[in-house]
A and B are shown apart, each in its own frame.
Chain A
Protein backbone atom coordinates (compact mmCIF):
# COMPACT_ATOMS: atom_id res chain seq x y z
CA UNK A 1 0.00 0.00 0.00
CA UNK A 2 1.09 3.52 -0.69
CA UNK A 3 2.07 5.27 2.50
CA UNK A 4 0.57 8.56 1.37
CA UNK A 5 -2.84 7.13 0.66
CA UNK A 6 -3.61 6.97 4.35
CA UNK A 7 -3.03 10.69 4.74
CA UNK A 8 -5.53 11.75 2.10
CA UNK A 9 -8.81 12.41 3.81
CA UNK A 10 -11.97 13.18 1.86
CA UNK A 11 -14.03 13.86 4.94
CA UNK A 12 -12.84 14.69 8.42
CA UNK A 13 -14.99 11.93 9.90
CA UNK A 14 -12.62 9.06 9.25
CA UNK A 15 -10.97 7.52 12.28
CA UNK A 16 -7.74 5.63 12.40
CA UNK A 17 -8.38 2.06 13.49
CA UNK A 18 -5.93 0.72 16.01
CA UNK A 19 -5.48 -2.61 17.66
CA UNK A 20 -4.29 -1.28 20.96
CA UNK A 21 -4.97 -3.22 24.11
CA UNK A 22 -8.21 -2.17 25.75
CA UNK A 23 -8.22 -0.74 29.22
CA UNK A 24 -10.13 -2.50 31.97
CA UNK A 25 -13.04 -0.07 31.71
CA UNK A 26 -13.24 -0.58 27.96
CA UNK A 27 -13.26 -4.33 28.38
CA UNK A 28 -16.47 -4.10 30.37
CA UNK A 29 -18.13 -2.92 27.16
CA UNK A 30 -21.09 -1.58 29.09
CA UNK A 31 -20.14 2.12 28.81
CA UNK A 32 -19.68 1.71 25.07
CA UNK A 33 -23.01 -0.08 24.82
CA UNK A 34 -24.73 2.74 26.69
CA UNK A 35 -23.11 5.25 24.39
CA UNK A 36 -24.44 3.37 21.40
CA UNK A 37 -27.87 3.11 22.92
CA UNK A 38 -27.96 6.85 23.57
CA UNK A 39 -27.08 7.45 19.93
CA UNK A 40 -29.92 5.25 18.73
CA UNK A 41 -32.25 6.84 21.25
CA UNK A 42 -31.50 10.27 19.82
CA UNK A 43 -32.50 8.96 16.43
CA UNK A 44 -35.81 7.92 17.93
CA UNK A 45 -36.89 11.56 18.02
CA UNK A 46 -35.30 12.71 14.80
CA UNK A 47 -37.45 13.78 11.87
CA UNK A 48 -38.30 10.92 9.57
CA UNK A 49 -36.93 11.06 6.08
CA UNK A 50 -39.78 9.00 4.64
CA UNK A 51 -41.91 10.22 1.75
CA UNK A 52 -45.39 8.69 1.86
CA UNK A 53 -45.06 7.77 -1.78
CA UNK A 54 -48.36 7.68 -3.62
CA UNK A 55 -49.72 10.69 -1.74
CA UNK A 56 -46.49 12.53 -1.33
CA UNK A 57 -43.84 12.63 -4.01
CA UNK A 58 -40.21 13.47 -3.71
CA UNK A 59 -39.61 16.73 -5.60
CA UNK A 60 -37.49 16.11 -8.65
CA UNK A 61 -34.92 18.55 -9.94
CA UNK A 62 -36.04 20.53 -13.00
CA UNK A 63 -33.29 18.97 -15.01
CA UNK A 64 -34.00 15.42 -13.78
CA UNK A 65 -33.44 12.90 -16.57
CA UNK A 66 -36.57 10.78 -16.64
CA UNK A 67 -39.14 9.72 -19.23
CA UNK A 68 -38.58 11.25 -22.67
CA UNK A 69 -40.93 13.56 -24.51
CA UNK A 70 -41.11 14.38 -28.21
CA UNK A 71 -41.96 18.08 -28.30
CA UNK A 72 -44.42 19.79 -30.57
CA UNK A 73 -43.69 23.29 -31.74
CA UNK A 74 -45.83 26.31 -30.90
CA UNK A 75 -48.33 25.51 -33.65
CA UNK A 76 -48.68 21.91 -32.52
CA UNK A 77 -46.53 20.33 -35.23
CA UNK A 78 -43.99 17.63 -34.47
CA UNK A 79 -40.48 18.94 -34.39
CA UNK A 80 -38.72 15.65 -35.06
CA UNK A 81 -37.41 15.17 -38.58
CA UNK A 82 -36.16 11.63 -38.08
CA UNK A 83 -32.55 12.62 -38.69
CA UNK A 84 -31.41 9.72 -36.54
CA UNK A 85 -28.81 11.67 -34.56
CA UNK A 86 -30.39 10.66 -31.30
CA UNK A 87 -30.27 6.99 -32.24
CA UNK A 88 -26.64 7.45 -33.23
CA UNK A 89 -25.80 9.22 -29.99
CA UNK A 90 -27.57 6.66 -27.84
CA UNK A 91 -24.94 4.56 -26.03
CA UNK A 92 -27.48 1.91 -25.14
CA UNK A 93 -28.97 1.67 -28.62
CA UNK A 94 -32.44 2.10 -27.24
CA UNK A 95 -33.84 4.34 -29.99
CA UNK A 96 -35.15 3.18 -33.37
CA UNK A 97 -37.15 5.12 -35.92
CA UNK A 98 -38.57 4.90 -39.41
CA UNK A 99 -38.56 8.07 -41.49
CA UNK A 100 -41.33 9.06 -43.89
CA UNK A 101 -42.07 11.95 -46.25
CA UNK A 102 -44.70 14.47 -45.34
CA UNK A 103 -47.82 14.54 -47.54
CA UNK A 104 -49.34 17.84 -48.69
CA UNK A 105 -52.27 17.62 -46.31
CA UNK A 106 -50.10 16.87 -43.27
CA UNK A 107 -48.52 20.31 -43.06
CA UNK A 108 -50.17 21.07 -39.77
CA UNK A 109 -48.94 17.79 -38.29
CA UNK A 110 -45.23 17.86 -39.05
CA UNK A 111 -43.02 20.91 -39.14
CA UNK A 112 -40.61 19.74 -41.82
CA UNK A 113 -40.83 17.65 -44.93
CA UNK A 114 -39.43 14.54 -43.34
CA UNK A 115 -40.84 13.07 -40.17
CA UNK A 116 -40.63 9.96 -38.00
CA UNK A 117 -43.38 7.54 -38.95
CA UNK A 118 -42.46 5.36 -36.02
CA UNK A 119 -40.22 6.37 -33.14
CA UNK A 120 -39.54 3.86 -30.42
CA UNK A 121 -37.48 3.96 -27.25
CA UNK A 122 -36.88 0.76 -25.33
CA UNK A 123 -37.08 1.90 -21.73
CA UNK A 124 -35.39 -1.24 -20.49
CA UNK A 125 -32.32 -0.41 -22.54
CA UNK A 126 -32.36 3.31 -21.94
CA UNK A 127 -29.89 4.48 -19.35
CA UNK A 128 -31.34 8.02 -19.15
CA UNK A 129 -28.01 9.65 -19.96
CA UNK A 130 -29.57 12.49 -21.92
CA UNK A 131 -27.25 12.17 -24.94
CA UNK A 132 -30.27 12.09 -27.27
CA UNK A 133 -31.34 15.43 -25.89
CA UNK A 134 -27.91 16.95 -26.49
CA UNK A 135 -27.64 15.46 -29.94
CA UNK A 136 -31.02 16.66 -31.22
CA UNK A 137 -30.58 19.61 -33.60
CA UNK A 138 -34.30 20.34 -33.76
CA UNK A 139 -35.00 20.61 -30.03
CA UNK A 140 -37.43 17.75 -30.48
CA UNK A 141 -36.54 15.22 -27.79
CA UNK A 142 -36.15 16.03 -24.12
CA UNK A 143 -35.89 14.10 -20.95
CA UNK A 144 -38.40 15.16 -18.31
CA UNK A 145 -38.81 14.83 -14.57
CA UNK A 146 -41.41 12.12 -14.98
CA UNK A 147 -40.55 8.49 -14.27
CA UNK A 148 -41.19 5.34 -16.27
CA UNK A 149 -43.99 3.40 -14.59
CA UNK A 150 -43.65 -0.31 -13.94
CA UNK A 151 -45.23 -2.81 -16.34
CA UNK A 152 -46.04 -6.50 -16.34
CA UNK A 153 -44.51 -7.36 -19.73
CA UNK A 154 -41.18 -6.54 -21.26
CA UNK A 155 -42.88 -5.55 -24.53
CA UNK A 156 -44.79 -2.79 -22.82
CA UNK A 157 -41.53 -1.04 -22.08
CA UNK A 158 -41.00 -0.25 -25.77
CA UNK A 159 -42.59 3.16 -25.93
CA UNK A 160 -43.91 4.34 -29.29
CA UNK A 161 -44.97 7.72 -30.51
CA UNK A 162 -48.35 7.38 -28.82
CA UNK A 163 -46.66 7.76 -25.46
CA UNK A 164 -43.64 9.82 -26.32
CA UNK A 165 -45.18 12.66 -28.30
CA UNK A 166 -46.66 15.29 -26.06
CA UNK A 167 -50.37 15.96 -26.30
CA UNK A 168 -51.55 19.23 -27.74
CA UNK A 169 -53.75 19.99 -24.80
CA UNK A 170 -51.21 18.81 -22.21
CA UNK A 171 -47.94 20.45 -23.06
CA UNK A 172 -44.89 19.52 -21.05
CA UNK A 173 -42.77 22.37 -19.86
CA UNK A 174 -39.10 21.94 -20.67
CA UNK A 175 -38.16 25.60 -20.45
CA UNK A 176 -36.12 24.92 -17.30
CA UNK A 177 -33.75 22.65 -19.18
CA UNK A 178 -33.76 24.70 -22.38
CA UNK A 179 -32.10 27.78 -20.96
CA UNK A 180 -30.33 30.27 -23.27
CA UNK A 181 -27.03 28.85 -22.04
CA UNK A 182 -27.99 25.39 -23.20
CA UNK A 183 -29.11 26.68 -26.57
CA UNK A 184 -25.92 28.66 -26.99
CA UNK A 185 -23.89 25.61 -26.06
CA UNK A 186 -25.68 23.51 -28.63
CA UNK A 187 -25.10 26.08 -31.36
CA UNK A 188 -21.43 26.72 -30.48
CA UNK A 189 -19.44 25.71 -33.51
CA UNK A 190 -16.17 25.58 -31.60
CA UNK A 191 -17.41 22.56 -29.64
CA UNK A 192 -16.61 19.22 -31.21
CA UNK A 193 -20.14 17.90 -31.14
CA UNK A 194 -21.42 20.66 -33.44
CA UNK A 195 -18.83 20.27 -36.17
Chain B
Protein backbone atom coordinates (compact mmCIF):
# COMPACT_ATOMS: atom_id res chain seq x y z
CA UNK B 1 0.00 0.00 0.00
CA UNK B 2 2.42 2.64 -1.11
CA UNK B 3 1.51 6.23 -1.64
CA UNK B 4 1.54 6.31 -5.45
CA UNK B 5 -0.76 3.31 -5.55
CA UNK B 6 -3.33 5.17 -3.44
CA UNK B 7 -2.83 8.33 -5.47
CA UNK B 8 -3.28 6.41 -8.68
CA UNK B 9 -6.48 4.77 -7.42
CA UNK B 10 -7.83 8.13 -6.29
CA UNK B 11 -7.05 9.72 -9.63
CA UNK B 12 -8.56 6.78 -11.47
CA UNK B 13 -11.73 6.92 -9.37
CA UNK B 14 -12.11 10.61 -10.13
CA UNK B 15 -11.56 9.99 -13.82
CA UNK B 16 -14.09 7.17 -13.94
CA UNK B 17 -16.71 9.19 -12.06
CA UNK B 18 -16.16 12.22 -14.29
CA UNK B 19 -16.31 10.00 -17.34
CA UNK B 20 -19.62 8.45 -16.25
CA UNK B 21 -21.07 11.87 -15.54
CA UNK B 22 -19.89 13.46 -18.76
CA UNK B 23 -21.03 10.51 -20.84
CA UNK B 24 -24.42 10.57 -19.12
CA UNK B 25 -24.62 14.32 -19.69
CA UNK B 26 -23.99 13.96 -23.38
CA UNK B 27 -26.19 10.88 -23.54
CA UNK B 28 -29.13 13.19 -22.79
CA UNK B 29 -28.18 15.26 -25.82
CA UNK B 30 -27.49 12.16 -27.90
CA UNK B 31 -30.90 10.77 -26.97
CA UNK B 32 -32.66 13.86 -28.22
CA UNK B 33 -30.51 14.01 -31.32
CA UNK B 34 -31.06 10.34 -32.10
CA UNK B 35 -34.78 10.71 -31.49
CA UNK B 36 -34.78 13.63 -33.88
CA UNK B 37 -32.95 11.72 -36.60
CA UNK B 38 -35.23 8.71 -36.24
CA UNK B 39 -38.23 10.98 -36.69
CA UNK B 40 -36.75 12.93 -39.64
CA UNK B 41 -36.11 15.95 -37.42
CA UNK B 42 -32.91 17.69 -36.38
CA UNK B 43 -32.95 17.54 -32.60
CA UNK B 44 -31.64 20.36 -30.43
CA UNK B 45 -29.14 22.52 -32.31
CA UNK B 46 -29.46 26.01 -30.89
CA UNK B 47 -27.24 25.90 -27.81
CA UNK B 48 -23.73 25.81 -29.27
CA UNK B 49 -22.81 24.12 -32.53
CA UNK B 50 -24.81 20.90 -33.02
CA UNK B 51 -26.44 21.73 -29.68
CA UNK B 52 -23.28 20.75 -27.80
CA UNK B 53 -24.08 23.13 -24.96
CA UNK B 54 -27.63 21.80 -24.59
CA UNK B 55 -26.81 19.55 -21.56
CA UNK B 56 -25.29 22.58 -19.84
CA UNK B 57 -28.38 24.62 -20.60
CA UNK B 58 -30.60 21.82 -19.27
CA UNK B 59 -28.49 21.54 -16.14
CA UNK B 60 -28.65 25.29 -15.49
CA UNK B 61 -32.39 25.23 -16.02
CA UNK B 62 -32.82 22.35 -13.56
CA UNK B 63 -30.65 24.11 -10.98
CA UNK B 64 -32.67 27.29 -11.09
CA UNK B 65 -36.07 25.68 -10.95
CA UNK B 66 -38.07 25.86 -7.77
CA UNK B 67 -37.27 23.24 -5.14
CA UNK B 68 -40.71 21.94 -4.41
CA UNK B 69 -41.60 19.51 -1.67
CA UNK B 70 -45.11 18.20 -1.11
CA UNK B 71 -46.53 19.30 2.24
CA UNK B 72 -47.11 15.79 3.54
CA UNK B 73 -43.96 14.26 2.12
CA UNK B 74 -41.50 12.43 4.33
CA UNK B 75 -38.77 15.08 4.21
CA UNK B 76 -35.71 12.92 4.83
CA UNK B 77 -36.73 10.07 2.56
CA UNK B 78 -37.85 12.51 -0.11
CA UNK B 79 -34.30 13.83 -0.34
CA UNK B 80 -32.72 10.41 0.21
CA UNK B 81 -34.50 8.85 -2.78
CA UNK B 82 -32.76 10.63 -5.66
CA UNK B 83 -29.42 10.65 -3.82
CA UNK B 84 -29.57 6.89 -3.40
CA UNK B 85 -30.49 6.36 -7.02
CA UNK B 86 -27.55 8.46 -8.14
CA UNK B 87 -25.16 6.74 -5.74
CA UNK B 88 -26.17 3.26 -6.80
CA UNK B 89 -25.93 4.22 -10.45
CA UNK B 90 -22.34 5.31 -9.97
CA UNK B 91 -21.35 2.37 -7.73
CA UNK B 92 -21.11 -0.36 -10.32
CA UNK B 93 -18.48 1.45 -12.36
CA UNK B 94 -15.96 0.32 -9.72
CA UNK B 95 -15.60 -3.26 -10.91
CA UNK B 96 -15.76 -2.81 -14.66
CA UNK B 97 -12.37 -3.35 -16.28
CA UNK B 98 -11.98 -0.25 -18.41
CA UNK B 99 -8.83 -1.55 -20.00
CA UNK B 100 -5.79 -3.78 -19.66
CA UNK B 101 -2.83 -2.68 -17.56
CA UNK B 102 -0.54 0.26 -18.25
CA UNK B 103 3.15 -0.14 -17.50
CA UNK B 104 4.68 3.17 -16.46
CA UNK B 105 8.20 3.24 -15.09
CA UNK B 106 8.27 -0.50 -14.50
CA UNK B 107 5.09 -0.42 -12.44
CA UNK B 108 1.89 -2.01 -13.57
CA UNK B 109 -1.28 0.03 -13.22
CA UNK B 110 -4.59 -1.78 -13.76
CA UNK B 111 -7.30 0.18 -15.55
CA UNK B 112 -9.89 -1.09 -13.12
CA UNK B 113 -10.93 0.35 -9.79
CA UNK B 114 -11.11 -2.89 -7.85
CA UNK B 115 -10.40 -6.33 -9.25
CA UNK B 116 -12.46 -8.14 -6.64
CA UNK B 117 -12.85 -11.85 -7.17
CA UNK B 118 -16.63 -11.49 -6.89
CA UNK B 119 -17.08 -8.70 -9.45
CA UNK B 120 -20.12 -10.31 -11.02
CA UNK B 121 -21.84 -10.75 -7.67
CA UNK B 122 -20.98 -7.19 -6.79
CA UNK B 123 -22.87 -5.95 -9.83
CA UNK B 124 -25.80 -8.19 -8.84
CA UNK B 125 -25.80 -6.58 -5.41
CA UNK B 126 -25.66 -3.06 -6.81
CA UNK B 127 -28.46 -3.79 -9.26
CA UNK B 128 -30.58 -5.31 -6.52
CA UNK B 129 -30.23 -2.30 -4.22
CA UNK B 130 -31.01 0.02 -7.12
CA UNK B 131 -34.67 -0.52 -6.33
CA UNK B 132 -34.44 1.41 -3.06
CA UNK B 133 -33.95 4.86 -4.52
CA UNK B 134 -37.00 4.56 -6.72
CA UNK B 135 -39.17 2.98 -4.04
CA UNK B 136 -38.22 5.44 -1.33
CA UNK B 137 -38.69 8.42 -3.62
CA UNK B 138 -42.04 7.21 -4.84
CA UNK B 139 -43.33 6.47 -1.38
CA UNK B 140 -42.00 9.65 0.23
CA UNK B 141 -43.76 11.85 -2.33
CA UNK B 142 -47.08 10.89 -0.75
CA UNK B 143 -48.71 10.76 -4.14
CA UNK B 144 -50.65 7.80 -5.44
CA UNK B 145 -49.20 8.02 -8.94
CA UNK B 146 -45.70 8.18 -7.54
CA UNK B 147 -46.37 5.19 -5.29
CA UNK B 148 -47.88 3.30 -8.21
CA UNK B 149 -44.83 4.08 -10.32
CA UNK B 150 -42.41 3.02 -7.64
CA UNK B 151 -44.27 -0.23 -7.00
CA UNK B 152 -44.20 -0.94 -10.71
CA UNK B 153 -40.53 -0.10 -10.90
CA UNK B 154 -39.65 -2.31 -7.96
CA UNK B 155 -41.62 -5.32 -9.10
CA UNK B 156 -40.28 -4.96 -12.62
CA UNK B 157 -36.69 -4.71 -11.44
CA UNK B 158 -37.03 -7.70 -9.12
CA UNK B 159 -38.67 -9.80 -11.83
CA UNK B 160 -36.08 -9.09 -14.49
CA UNK B 161 -33.18 -9.37 -12.08
CA UNK B 162 -33.76 -13.14 -11.96
CA UNK B 163 -33.51 -13.79 -15.66
CA UNK B 164 -30.56 -11.44 -15.80
CA UNK B 165 -28.68 -13.27 -13.06
CA UNK B 166 -29.51 -16.56 -14.72
CA UNK B 167 -27.89 -15.44 -17.95
CA UNK B 168 -24.82 -14.17 -16.12
CA UNK B 169 -24.56 -17.45 -14.21
CA UNK B 170 -24.09 -19.15 -17.57
CA UNK B 171 -21.19 -16.84 -18.32
CA UNK B 172 -19.73 -17.60 -14.91
CA UNK B 173 -20.10 -21.32 -15.62
CA UNK B 174 -18.23 -21.18 -18.92
CA UNK B 175 -15.47 -18.89 -17.73
CA UNK B 176 -15.17 -20.44 -14.29
CA UNK B 177 -14.63 -17.15 -12.53
CA UNK B 178 -16.62 -14.45 -10.81
CA UNK B 179 -14.02 -11.81 -11.51
CA UNK B 180 -14.92 -9.49 -14.36
CA UNK B 181 -11.27 -8.99 -15.21
CA UNK B 182 -10.81 -12.75 -15.58
CA UNK B 183 -13.95 -13.02 -17.71
CA UNK B 184 -12.69 -10.30 -20.03
CA UNK B 185 -9.18 -11.66 -20.39
CA UNK B 186 -10.62 -15.04 -21.36
CA UNK B 187 -12.32 -13.41 -24.33
CA UNK B 188 -8.96 -12.50 -25.85
CA UNK B 189 -9.05 -11.48 -29.49
CA UNK B 190 -12.31 -12.56 -31.01
CA UNK B 191 -13.34 -15.26 -28.49
CA UNK B 192 -16.29 -13.21 -27.41
CA UNK B 193 -18.92 -14.79 -25.24
CA UNK B 194 -21.70 -13.64 -27.53
CA UNK B 195 -20.75 -16.33 -30.05
CA UNK B 196 -21.07 -19.11 -27.50
CA UNK B 197 -23.94 -17.56 -25.56
CA UNK B 198 -26.32 -15.94 -28.08
CA UNK B 199 -29.46 -16.75 -26.08
CA UNK B 200 -27.88 -15.56 -22.88
CA UNK B 201 -26.92 -12.34 -24.60
CA UNK B 202 -30.44 -11.66 -25.85
CA UNK B 203 -31.90 -12.38 -22.42
CA UNK B 204 -29.31 -10.17 -20.77
CA UNK B 205 -29.93 -7.33 -23.22
CA UNK B 206 -33.68 -7.42 -22.68
CA UNK B 207 -33.21 -7.54 -18.92
CA UNK B 208 -30.80 -4.63 -19.12
CA UNK B 209 -33.52 -2.60 -20.83
CA UNK B 210 -35.90 -3.51 -18.03
CA UNK B 211 -33.40 -2.79 -15.27
CA UNK B 212 -32.68 0.67 -16.65
CA UNK B 213 -36.42 1.40 -16.90
CA UNK B 214 -35.91 2.10 -20.56
CA UNK B 215 -38.48 1.74 -23.26
CA UNK B 216 -40.17 -0.66 -24.00
CA UNK B 217 -40.09 -1.30 -20.23
CA UNK B 218 -40.53 2.29 -19.12
CA UNK B 219 -43.90 1.84 -17.42
CA UNK B 220 -42.69 3.08 -14.03
CA UNK B 221 -42.36 6.55 -15.51
CA UNK B 222 -44.92 6.46 -18.26
CA UNK B 223 -46.51 9.84 -18.74
CA UNK B 224 -49.80 8.70 -20.17
CA UNK B 225 -50.84 6.53 -17.23
CA UNK B 226 -48.89 7.75 -14.25
CA UNK B 227 -48.10 11.36 -15.17
CA UNK B 228 -44.41 10.67 -14.73
CA UNK B 229 -44.43 7.78 -12.29
CA UNK B 230 -42.17 7.82 -9.27
CA UNK B 231 -40.77 11.28 -9.99
CA UNK B 232 -44.13 12.98 -10.41
CA UNK B 233 -43.63 15.20 -7.37
CA UNK B 234 -39.96 15.90 -7.96
CA UNK B 235 -38.62 19.12 -9.37
CA UNK B 236 -35.34 20.93 -9.78
CA UNK B 237 -32.08 19.03 -9.32
CA UNK B 238 -33.75 16.17 -7.43
CA UNK B 239 -35.66 15.39 -10.59
CA UNK B 240 -32.40 15.96 -12.42
CA UNK B 241 -30.75 13.26 -10.33
CA UNK B 242 -33.46 10.76 -11.22
CA UNK B 243 -33.30 11.55 -14.91
CA UNK B 244 -29.53 11.68 -14.89
CA UNK B 245 -29.11 8.37 -13.11
CA UNK B 246 -31.15 6.73 -15.86
CA UNK B 247 -28.46 7.73 -18.34
CA UNK B 248 -25.65 6.65 -16.03
CA UNK B 249 -27.41 3.31 -15.65
CA UNK B 250 -27.61 3.04 -19.40
CA UNK B 251 -23.89 3.75 -19.72
CA UNK B 252 -23.00 1.20 -17.04
CA UNK B 253 -25.36 -1.40 -18.49
CA UNK B 254 -23.75 -0.94 -21.91
CA UNK B 255 -20.36 -1.33 -20.28
CA UNK B 256 -21.54 -4.55 -18.63
CA UNK B 257 -22.90 -5.91 -21.91
CA UNK B 258 -19.62 -5.13 -23.66
CA UNK B 259 -17.63 -6.63 -20.81
CA UNK B 260 -19.59 -9.83 -20.42
CA UNK B 261 -20.50 -10.61 -24.01
CA UNK B 262 -18.41 -8.51 -26.37
CA UNK B 263 -14.94 -9.01 -25.05
CA UNK B 264 -14.56 -5.78 -23.10
CA UNK B 265 -11.30 -4.17 -24.14
CA UNK B 266 -10.39 -7.03 -26.47
CA UNK B 267 -10.43 -6.50 -30.20
CA UNK B 268 -9.56 -8.74 -33.13
CA UNK B 269 -5.94 -9.00 -34.29
CA UNK B 270 -4.64 -7.42 -31.09
CA UNK B 271 -1.57 -9.65 -31.14
CA UNK B 272 -0.87 -9.37 -34.85
CA UNK B 273 -0.53 -5.58 -34.79
CA UNK B 274 2.88 -5.79 -33.16
CA UNK B 275 2.36 -2.78 -30.93
CA UNK B 276 3.72 -2.36 -27.44
CA UNK B 277 1.66 -3.42 -24.43
CA UNK B 278 0.73 0.13 -23.47
CA UNK B 279 -0.53 0.99 -26.95
CA UNK B 280 -2.62 -2.16 -27.05
CA UNK B 281 -4.12 -1.18 -23.69
CA UNK B 282 -4.96 2.33 -24.85
CA UNK B 283 -6.50 1.08 -28.09
CA UNK B 284 -8.36 -1.54 -26.06
CA UNK B 285 -9.88 1.13 -23.85
CA UNK B 286 -10.94 3.11 -26.89
CA UNK B 287 -12.44 -0.04 -28.41
CA UNK B 288 -14.36 -0.66 -25.19
CA UNK B 289 -15.67 2.90 -25.34
CA UNK B 290 -16.75 2.38 -28.95
CA UNK B 291 -18.61 -0.80 -27.92
CA UNK B 292 -20.28 1.04 -25.03
CA UNK B 293 -21.39 3.89 -27.25
CA UNK B 294 -22.76 1.43 -29.76
CA UNK B 295 -24.90 -0.19 -27.06
CA UNK B 296 -26.03 3.18 -25.75
CA UNK B 297 -27.13 3.86 -29.30
CA UNK B 298 -28.96 0.51 -29.36
CA UNK B 299 -30.75 1.53 -26.15
CA UNK B 300 -31.95 4.69 -27.87
CA UNK B 301 -32.68 2.92 -31.11
CA UNK B 302 -34.98 0.48 -29.35
CA UNK B 303 -36.63 3.28 -27.40
CA UNK B 304 -37.64 5.10 -30.54
CA UNK B 305 -38.79 1.95 -32.30
CA UNK B 306 -40.82 -0.14 -29.88
CA UNK B 307 -43.97 0.88 -28.04
CA UNK B 308 -44.35 0.41 -24.30
CA UNK B 309 -45.49 -2.88 -22.79
CA UNK B 310 -48.68 -3.20 -20.84
CA UNK B 311 -48.08 -4.09 -17.20
CA UNK B 312 -49.46 -7.64 -17.39
CA UNK B 313 -47.54 -8.21 -20.62
CA UNK B 314 -44.38 -7.05 -18.92
CA UNK B 315 -44.82 -9.48 -16.05
CA UNK B 316 -45.81 -12.37 -18.27
CA UNK B 317 -42.85 -11.74 -20.53
CA UNK B 318 -40.43 -11.57 -17.64
CA UNK B 319 -41.57 -14.69 -15.85
CA UNK B 320 -42.97 -16.85 -18.61
CA UNK B 321 -40.87 -15.68 -21.54
CA UNK B 322 -37.39 -14.83 -20.37
CA UNK B 323 -37.05 -17.06 -17.32
CA UNK B 324 -37.58 -20.38 -19.14
CA UNK B 325 -35.17 -19.35 -21.87
CA UNK B 326 -32.56 -18.34 -19.34
CA UNK B 327 -33.11 -21.66 -17.55
CA UNK B 328 -32.85 -23.72 -20.72
CA UNK B 329 -29.75 -21.83 -21.71
CA UNK B 330 -28.19 -22.48 -18.34
CA UNK B 331 -29.01 -26.19 -18.30
CA UNK B 332 -27.85 -26.79 -21.86
CA UNK B 333 -24.64 -24.87 -21.26
CA UNK B 334 -24.00 -26.79 -18.08
CA UNK B 335 -24.62 -30.06 -19.88
CA UNK B 336 -22.21 -29.29 -22.71
CA UNK B 337 -19.65 -27.92 -20.33
CA UNK B 338 -19.79 -31.12 -18.33
CA UNK B 339 -19.42 -33.20 -21.49
CA UNK B 340 -16.33 -31.28 -22.57
CA UNK B 341 -14.81 -31.26 -19.12
CA UNK B 342 -15.34 -34.97 -18.62
CA UNK B 343 -14.05 -35.60 -22.11
CA UNK B 344 -16.92 -37.75 -23.29
Contacts and interface: CB of A to CB of B under 8 A. Distances in A.
A39 B301 CA distance: 11
Contacts of B38: 40, 43-44
Q: How large is the interface on A (under 10, 10 to 19, 20 to 34, 35 or more residues)?
A: 10 to 19
B42 A50 contact: yes
A16 interface: no
B303 to A, nearest CB: 10
A30 B202 contact: yes
B156 to A, nearest CB: 18
Interface in A18-37: 30, 33, 36-37
Contacts of B302: 37
Contacts of A30: 202
B272 interface: no
Interface string B37-66: 111111000000000000000000000000
A74 interface: no
B1 interface: no
B304 A40 contact: yes
Q: How large is the interface on B (under 10, 10 to 19, 20 to 34, 35 or more residues)?
A: 10 to 19
A37 B306 CA distance: 8
Contacts of B42: 48, 50, 52
A43 B306 contact: no
B306 A33 contact: yes
B240 to A, nearest CB: 28
B37 A36 contact: no
B40 A48 contact: yes
Q: Which of A41, A44, A46, A52 is packed against the most chain B CB atoms within 10 Å?
A: A44
B306 A41 contact: no
Interface string B281-318: 00000000000000000000110111000000000000
Contacts of B305: 33, 36-37, 39-40
A47 interface: yes
Interface in B201-233: 202
Interface in A131-152: none
Interface string A40-74: 11011011111010000000000000000000000
A43 B39 contact: yes
Given A33-B306, A36-B306, A43 B37 contact: yes
B44 to A, nearest CB: 11
A52 B36 CA distance: 14
A111 B221 CA distance: 66
A49 to B, nearest CB: 5
A30 to B, nearest CB: 7
A169 B168 CA distance: 78
A37 B40 CA distance: 15
A132 to B, nearest CB: 37
Interface of B: 34, 36-42, 202, 301-302, 304-306
8 contacts: A30-B202, A33-B305, A33-B306, A40-B301, A41-B301, A44-B34, A49-B41, A52-B42
Interface of A: 30, 33, 36-37, 39-41, 43-44, 46-50, 52
The 4 closest A-B pairs by CB, nearest first: A40-B305, A50-B42, A44-B37, A36-B305
